[in-house]
Every structure is written in structure tokens, then in C-alpha cells.
Amino acid sequence: MGASKAAHPWADNAAMNQLDALKQFTTVVADTGDFKQLAQFQPRDATTNPSLILKAVQKPEYAPLLQATVDRWRGRPMDEVIDRLLVRFGCEILATIPGRVSTEVDARLSFDTSATVTRAERIIELYQAEGVHIDRVLIKIAATWEGIQAAQQLERRGIHTNLTLLFSFCQAVACGQAKVQLISPFVGRIYDWYKKQAGASWDEAARAGENDPGVQSVTQIYQYYKRFGIATEVMGASFRNVGQITALAGCDLLTIAPDLLAQLAASDAPVARRLDAEAARMLDLRKIELDEPAFRYALNEDAMATEKLAEGIRAFAVDAVKLEQLIHAA
């Protein structure tokens, strides 16, 4: 899916800012829990995660929302109060955007398939109790083997998923096999790892644009999916600069933080389509099938993906604990 395709990959967008030009090729998604920022950028969808919600609830303007949620559900189990807070933010976001919101399952369940399924089902039930249609919510789950299996079960039940913390091609292949709705490959965190590894030898100019390792990862996944007719949507995520975003123009979706959305809106530099589904369908690629041992070995062989997946789960778990502490104090 994604935005309608322009007649020519270099469509006339001279009169547009970069954000509007990007929307010709790609569905733009806002990566924030700060729903008061959304309207100015007019994204179709929005994504959240524990870190973004934690950041939002510490702002003075959101203190009443946090307090009201805690007061209403005080005495309930902490995991339920957390989910109710996430859903409250999600409902506020959905009141501002026309599309979908992504809400994340607790990262501490990333290696527990059944617990992830149970938690996801409760989040959906909480949304439905607020009158939100199931198709307007994506359940975010870490792309571990266990998380991917949970997503497969949820998709079969009509609950759509967004597989996050995705850094490797093998994760994307397994997600495609599981027929998940959407994946979020993390461009910026891949870039961070390779830049840190290179140290003083890193050449920023030489590794920019289509040569950026994060951009290359998303491009490989996008081309593979389109070549083999895999319906899973590809949503590039975790950007460090505008160049990474414009290098992926044409990707199904791109989820972008408000500061980078503002930079795109303030620039009138041209934006060209870089990823094209029709061109990808003509590529000579090999279809891959992964069972659990093959998946685990392929992930193990990718030092960057192994390290960033573990690091990402740890970081989200830390922020989940901080959110619990804020709720205790409220």
C-alpha cells in the first residue's frame, strides 16, 4: 500500500515543501506520543512506544491525563493500568489522525509468545471498549522469534501487528512468512551501530543517502517483499536525519519524529521516488524460507542486529519501569 504513485518518479513538486512532496510517494506516519503536535503535520498514522509515552507523560500538559487515568483505575494491577494509559494516549491520537495508531506490548514479554498474545488481546479489548475499530490499531511487538509467532497467531484472529526492533533481513523474512501486517525496520539505529564500529574511519558523506547502511537494509527488505508479492507493509523508522528519509521516498510508509517532520516541512528541496514496487518485481532475487533454527542462526550471524535487538528490548523495559514509577507516584 502507501500513497498513490506519481505519474513520473520525478514528479513536479517544486512548489511543495519536502513533507508534502514525500507524501506523493509514501504514507507519512508521526512517531510520537505527543498528540498535541500531530495536527500541524497531518500524518495518516501514528506510532508510539514506551519511551515516547514516558517522554510525553512527563510534560506538564499531559499531567492531568496521567493523573485522571491513574485515579480511575487505582488498585488495579500495574500492567492493566499501564495498558489503560497507553490506550488513553492512543485514543487521543486517533481523534487527531484518520488512520491507525501503533501501541506496544510490554518489552519484558518479548520472549513469551503466549503472554504477548494475551496482552495484545487485552489492549485491543480496551480500544474496542472505547469504540475504536480493530482495524485502527496495530499492536507493536519486538521482532524476536517468539514475538513473530505471537504476531502470526494474532493476525489469524484479525488483530493486526507492527513488528518493531527490526534490524536484520532474517527478521523481515520471518515476519513476511508470518503474514504480519507491518514491519518497522530501524534505519537510524543501524546507522548508529556501523558509525560507532567504524570510529574515526567513518566517512559521513560517503555513507549518506543510498549508501547509508540503514537505508540499504530497508531497501533490501522492500525489494524482497515486492519481488515475491509479500503483502506485509514496510515502514522505515528511527531516523537520524532528513537524508535518510528522502533516500527511502517510495517506501510503503515512513514513521518520522516531529522534529524531522518540521525540517521536511521547512524545506523546499526536491524529493524523488527512490523505491519502486514495479522495478523491484523485475529483480533477480532468491526466495528464502526460515524455520526457527535457521532464523536464530541467521540472527546470530548478524552482530549488529543481535546487539541492537537486545539493546532495544532492554531500553524499552527500563522505560516501562520508569512509567510504572510515575504511576506509583501519581
In tens, the pLDDT along 140-149 reads: 999 999 999 9
Q: Is the pLDDT at 3 greater than 90, yes or no?
A: no
Provide the domain limits for residue 31: 18-329
Q: State the burial class of residue 236 (Cβ atoms within 10 Å of its Cβ: 0-12, 13-18, 19+).
A: buried
Q: Which residue has the cell 510503503?
A: 252
Q: Is residue 266 part of a domain?
A: yes
- Taking only the tens place, the pLDDT of each residue in 250-264 is 999 999 999 999 999
* Beta strand extents in the chain (DSSP E only): 27-31, 45-47, 101-104, 137-142, 161-166, 182-185, 233-236, 253-256
CA distance 42 to 228: 32
Q: Which residue has the cell 514528479?
A: 11
- Taking only the tens place, the pLDDT of each residue in 17-42 is 999 999 999 999 999 999 998 989 99
Q: Within 10 A of 152 (CB to CB), how many other CB atoms are there? A: 18
CA distance 265 to 39: 13
Q: Please give the share of the chain, as a percent, with pLDDT higher than 70.
A: 96
Q: What is the pLDDT of residue 11?
A: 46
Q: Is the pLDDT at 2 greater than 70, yes or no?
A: no
| Nearest by Cα to 146 from 183, 125, 171 | 171
CATH number of the domain residue 82 falls in? 3.20.20.70
Q: Model's pTM, two decimal places? A: 0.94
Q: Is residue 270 part of a domain?
A: yes
Q: Is residue 9 part of a domain?
A: no
pLDDT band at 150 (very low <50, low <70, confident <90, very high): very high
- Taking only the tens place, the pLDDT of each residue in 126-140 is 999 999 999 999 999
Q: Is residue 10 part of a domain?
A: no
Q: Is the pLDDT at 277 greater than 50, yes or no?
A: yes
CA angle 202, 203, 208 (to 5 degrees): 115
Q: Is residue 3 part of a domain?
A: no
Q: What is the pLDDT of residue 14?
A: 56
Count of residues in the chain: 330
Burial string for 185-223 (b: 16+ CB within 10 Å, else e) reads bbbbbbbbbebeeeeeeeeeeebeeeebbbbbbbbebbb
Mean pLDDT of the chain: 95
- Taking only the tens place, the pLDDT of each residue in 282-329 is 999 999 999 999 999 999 999 999 999 999 999 999 999 999 999 999
End-to-end, the C-alpha distance of the chain in Å comes to 42
Q: What is the pLDDT of residue 38?
A: 92
Residues designated catalytic: 140
Q: Is the pLDDT at 8 greater than 70, yes or no?
A: no
| Nearest by Cα to 74 from 319, 329, 310 | 329
CA distance 303 to 300: 7
Q: Is residue 4 part of a domain?
A: no
Domains identified in the chain, total number = 1
Q: Give mean pLDDT, residues 90-117.
A: 97
- Taking only the tens place, the pLDDT of each residue in 186-234 is 999 999 999 999 999 999 999 999 999 999 999 999 999 999 999 999 9
The alpha carbons of the chain give a radius of gyration, in whole angstroms, of 19
Q: What is the pLDDT of residue 15?
A: 74
Q: What is the pLDDT of residue 10?
A: 44
Q: What is the pLDDT of residue 320?
A: 95
CA distance 301 to 169: 11
